[in-house]
Structure 1
Amino acid sequence: MGEPKIKLAEVKKHFGEKIVLDGVNLSVEPGESVAIIGGSGTGKSVTLKCILGLLTPDSGSVQVDGQEIVGAKPREIEKVRAKFGMLFQGGALFDSLPVWRNVTFGLTQGRMRHAAEMRKIAEENLERVGLKADILNLRPNELSGGMQKRVALARAIAPRPEIIFFDEPTTGLDPIRADVINDLITSLVEDLGVTALTITHDMASARKIAHRVAMLYNGRIVWHGPRDRLYDSGNPYVDQFVQGRADGPIR
């Protein structure tokens, strides 16, 4: 294989006396979809923030396309961030803006410009996620939870990023709507050829959208492997987590 799209090597991060990341090693190849699983407070979100340069690791290396993020100048980090799209856990749509402006927000930085062109772009991206043009002028609070998630997904792909982060993409959705979102993510990643990194508690989602799964526990990746081995990993931490057992090495 060539150079990884994302590479973390011995990344450590603590807040006061609390060690959150204690030597994380993880590589994501171009066009690969990887899911990070793990309990609440295990450092999944901190890992994403370190990759984006929003947090600076105490030590270790974070590279995107071979470019070192740790210690990089703000202008260099901004250029790297331009490669990323993000689907936030709660959608994070702007209630004061119509759907079309939400979808194109990353293209306009919130400024009102090229309205006709932006509406067309919004319509095209909404169509990709199975929504029609009749919602362009609606506000997010006029949409169902599943539709809001789709609009957020349309916003994430609108700038045609090279890498997309999915933060708990199925949270708050019933199993059927969650499966619809999983199908959309899978098809979009394949169609657009992007690299995807997902953090999730949803094992059905992890198995469906990821090529490979990694488990974060006690600040380290304790297991990684193909999604088909998630329920046959041979790792006691993974087995306890995916089966939701109270008894096991995770306390």
Structure 2
Amino acid sequence: MAAQPKILLTDVTKEFAGNVVLDGLNLAIEPGESMAIIGQSGSGKSVTLKCILGLLRPDSGSIRIDGAEVVGLRGGAQDRMRAKFGMLFQGSALFDSLPVWRNVTFGLTQGRRVDGTRMRAIAEENLERVGLDKRVLNLRPSELSGGMQKRVALARAIAPRPEIIFFDEPTTGLDPIRADVINDLIVSLVDDLGVTALTITHDMASARKIAHRVAMLYQGKIVWIGPRDRLYDSGNPYVDQFVQGRAEGPIT
């Protein structure tokens, strides 16, 4: 018997002031799978992510995590579900007022004062996983390069040992070399920790490296989904136009 999907979206719709952003979106992500969603700006990628996270409520449809419906969860039930999630935000979204070690452990403490020695040890362990050492523990994010900030944000995302990690444009603002370093880190972390991953990205190099499968979102629907190796050989006119960056084609 096949395992149930880790994340399952069924006929999810969402509109804002009459503008349909998600139009019956269907997507299944298997346990331990790394999925990337690509598409134009405004195609609904971020809205999809926010609906899964519970930051937005779909107008209709179902979103299930491990078979449990999450649409409409509130209070403690929503908190327990979110405890399964880790998040790497676009732009890293670190707290400039906190040292690196407190940024990394923020999800474990929610900003509360706790055993600093233990939290520093946890921070050091997770920083080591992303290639940083204890010399950065007491630095502020503003003292780090963009690539180092992204690594700290990765360490924060994995520190609570989530079951699912969401990556929002993980290579934005990085040059191609540093972007590839982050992609390699994501691949190794997903494999080592055995997590399920969902990435939204415009970066085709990133999608091809970190995802097992790639889904193309257009006008609120998944118009293609397939293995990463078929991204440039999909036979789908929407995908072909998008990945080649052509002005002419079905995407307007």
Q: TM-score range by the shorter chain?
A: over 0.9
Structural mapping, 1:157-236, within 5 Å: 157-236=158-237
CA distance in 2, matches of 1:112, 1:87: 23
Which residue does 2:10 correspond to in 1? 9
TM superposition shift of 1:18: 0.6
CA distance in 2, matches of 1:210, 1:85: 17
TM-score of the aligned structures, taking structure 1 as reference length: 0.99
Which residue does 1:100 correspond to in 2? 101
> What is the SS of the residue equivalent to 1:12?
strand
Q: Establish whether residue 61 from structure 1 lines up as the match of residue 42 from structure 2.
A: no
CA distances 1:66-119 after superposition (whole Å, capped 9, x unpaired)? 000123343222211110000000100000000000000000101121000000
TM superposition shift of 1:242: 0.3
- Measured on the aligned residues, the alpha-carbon RMSD in Å equals 0.6
CA distance in 2, matches of 1:95, 1:37: 30
CA distances 1:168-218 after superposition (whole Å, capped 9, x unpaired)? 000000000000000000000000000000000000000000000000000
CA distance in 2, matches of 1:72, 1:149: 31
- Identical-pair percentage: 79
Q: Establish whether residue 33 from structure 1 lines up as the match of residue 55 from structure 2.
A: no
CA distance in 2, matches of 1:70, 1:93: 28
User: What residue identity is the alignment partner of 2:60?
Assistant: S
> What is the SS of the residue equivalent to 1:85?
strand
CA distance in 2, matches of 1:101, 1:77: 24
TM-score of the aligned structures, taking structure 2 as reference length: 0.99
Which residue does 1:137 correspond to in 2? 138
User: What residue identity is the alignment partner of 2:203?
Assistant: D
